[in-house]
Structures are given as structure tokens and as C-alpha cells.
Amino acid sequence: MFDWLVVGAGFAGCVLAERLATQRGERVLIVDRRPHIGGNAYDRYNEDGLLIHEYGPHIFHTNSDMVLSYLSQFTTWRDYTHRVLAEVDGQRVPIPINRTTVNRLYGLSLGTDEEMEAWLAARAEPAERIETSEDVVVSKVGRELYEKFFRGYTRKQWGLDPSELDKSVTARVPTRTDTDDRYFADKHQVMPEHGYTRMFQAMVAHPNITVMVQADYRDIRHLIPHRRVIYSGQIDEFFDFRFGRLPYRSLRFDHVTLDTPRHQNVAVVNYPQTEDFTRVTEYKYLTGQEHAKTAITYEYPTADGDPYYPVPRPENQERYGLYEALARATPDVWFVGRLATYRYYNMDQVVGQALATFRRIDEKLPREDRA
């Protein structure tokens, strides 16, 4: 008899399994329908010995000392500051849009934050209410830069116009008046030194934790005795799509090895105007690996496939609310993670959410003596 059946071996599932096993001494079975642990953060060495991210580039960044220190029990880190270029009007320029971006695209020499602010203010279209992913960008940089950097990319990535998506989507990418060309502004920007999969292996390496991959919760739930469930799969699937499907956007990853040490001069290049793929990632920048060859990945957005992104729109949030109410009324099951709480969360946010869930569980359920 397991105390816990944990569904999903991604960040949400592995953090909770680790906490329950080590802090409460409980017996945990983790199941994942995929053939590996790590969820979407899973990485592996390809046929040429290059470390790649199976489900697209995962860059760790956080402002939380607590989340970083928790994960530091399971990995050492390498410093890595993420930078991205966007191919716009035939040039590769920094995204997030900053002063360098504007100077290069328009042949200007804006020298100060104030000059850049004035340049943007002359183009921005102030909106009374900022609701959509179009409003949030157009109100800051105006329509022309919005069209060049955001409209096409977003339509490709989501199959929706930015005007049909909640503002939180494009608000992930800031606008800068200085020349800071980092993609993220977080206090901590690091990568697990030996990769994510090694970190996950260390998290679940505990005698109270058993891992079973290629096992679907729906197939094994009645076969394996357990008292409680941590569920990190799709919440709509858990309830047999009773209120209809929650939309998730998917991707197809085209992993390629090139017989050259370097392919592009930055880790990620975005293609907002051309191509069917959204971005190209070269992993050596993220991993620091030295190798005669290089591995890259093209990301092609798709409607069908593995659920990668919840789609932030009011009607989806409303439908999620119906499922959330059911979840609250379901005893002995805790819903956690990007799919089970239908939130466009980064890795550090999922870790934070899982640690908070553990604290709630630990307050609610008395610890039993296990001599």
C-alpha cells in the first residue's frame, strides 16, 4: 500500500514526492505515461553525445531564494544569462525590444533612456483598458513594432491573434529603454550543471520513492492500492472532460545535429515575420558543452499533440473554474502544476506552488508515526 500515488514526474510531481518521502517518511509511487522522468524539462544526450532538451529550451530563472535553495540540494549550477535575437526586416536584433533594437532597425542613435522613452511615447497608443495581448504591446511601443515583433509570432505560436489572448501572454516580454539585452531580469539565472534529468534523478533517489514510467494513471489507478493522490496531469482529463476540453497549445520539435561547432551567435533566434517555426535554439549556449558538432531545435506550433501551453483567455479561465470547483470537492486528491491548475507557469513557479502545496498537506494531515 502506497501512502501517495503521484501522477506526473515533472517538477510538480517530483517536488511533492521528495517532500512527502523525506519530510513525512511516507511511501510514494510516481507514475508517468512518458518513458522518462522530468516532464517537459527532461533533457538527454543525443546520438552524437550532445545534451539536448527533448521538449524545447528550458532556461532556469527565478527571483525566489527559497526555490533556488530548495533545488540546490539536488544539483550544482552553471551561470547562464539568456539572450535572444529576433530576425526582423532581415536583421537580427535584441528582443525584448530595447534601445539597441530601435537604433539598429531605424538607423538612429538614441543615447539615453529619456530619448528612447520620448521615441516610444510618440508611437505608443495609450489604451483606457489593457485587456489583451495586443493592448499591452501597442500601448507601450505602438503598432509598427507590435506588427514586426509580436503579431506574427503570436499568431504562429498560438493560432490566435494577440487581440484574442489575455494580456498576460505578451506581458511576459518587457520593453526596455536601456540597452539591457538579457531575456530575463530575474535575480537568479542558472542552469543545472549536469542537466535537468540528473537533477530529477537526485530528487527521487530515496528509498521511500518508487518510479514507474510508461504507466498511465487511468490504467493503473484501480490496480495499485494507495491512500491519496497528487495529480499533475490535465485537470479536464481527470474529470473525463465533463465540462468540455480545456484548450492546450502543442509544438512539434525538430531536433537536428549539424557538423559544425557553432550555428548561430546566440542561444535562441526568434522568427516573428518569416518561417513556419517560431524559434531556433542552439543548446551549447545553455549547457556550456564543448563539442565538434552542435545540436539545434526548431519549434513548430501545432493544435494537436502533447499539451504544452494552457491558452490564457477569459472563456478558458471560466471553464477551468468549473473544473477547479470539482477539484476542491474531491477528497484526497491534490492538483498541482501547469496542467492541473491550468496556469502558464515557469519552472520556478511550479516548484513554488508544489512547495506551498506540501505545506498545506503537512498542516492538514497529521503525521503518522512510522518507526
Site for ligand UDP in 243-282 (CB under 6 A): 270, 272
Alpha helices (runs of H) in 187-299, residue ranges in sequence order: 196-204, 217-220, 235-238, 284-287
39 binds, among ligand FAD, ligand UDP, none (CB under 5 to 8 A by kind): ligand FAD
154 binds, among ligand UDP, ligand FAD, none (CB under 5 to 8 A by kind): ligand UDP
In sign, the C-alpha dihedral spanning 73, 76, 78, 82 is negative
- When CB distances are held under 5 to 8 angstroms depending on the partner's kind, the choice from ligand UDP, ligand FAD, none that residue 157 binds is ligand UDP
Rule CB under 6 A: say whether 267 interacts with ligand FAD.
Answer: no
Binding residues among 308-327 for ligand FAD as defined by CB under 6 A = 308
Any contact of residue 97 with ligand UDP (CB under 6 A)?
Answer: no
Distance CA 327, CA 339 (A): 13
- Alpha-carbon span 46 to 48, nearest angstrom: 5
Binding mask 157-176 for ligand UDP (x = CB under 6 A): x-----------xx-xx---
**Contact status: 245 vs ligand FAD (CB under 6 A):** no
Of 162, 300, 317, whose CA–CA distance to 247 is shortest? Answer: 317
Q: Which residues contact 1 (CB under 8 A, 6 or more apart)?
A: 27, 225, 226, 227
**Alpha-carbon gap, residue 278 to 291, rounded angstroms:** 26
Q: Quick check: 345 binds ligand UDP (CB under 6 A)? A: no
How many whole angstroms separate alpha carbon 39 and alpha carbon 36?
8
Instruction: Name the residue nearer to ligand UDP (CB basis): 146 or 323.
Output: 146
Which partner from the list ligand FAD, ligand UDP, none does 270 bind, CB cut-off 5 to 8 Å by kind? ligand UDP
Enumerate binding residues for ligand UDP (CB under 6 A). Answer: 86, 95, 149-150, 153-154, 157, 169-170, 172-173, 270, 272
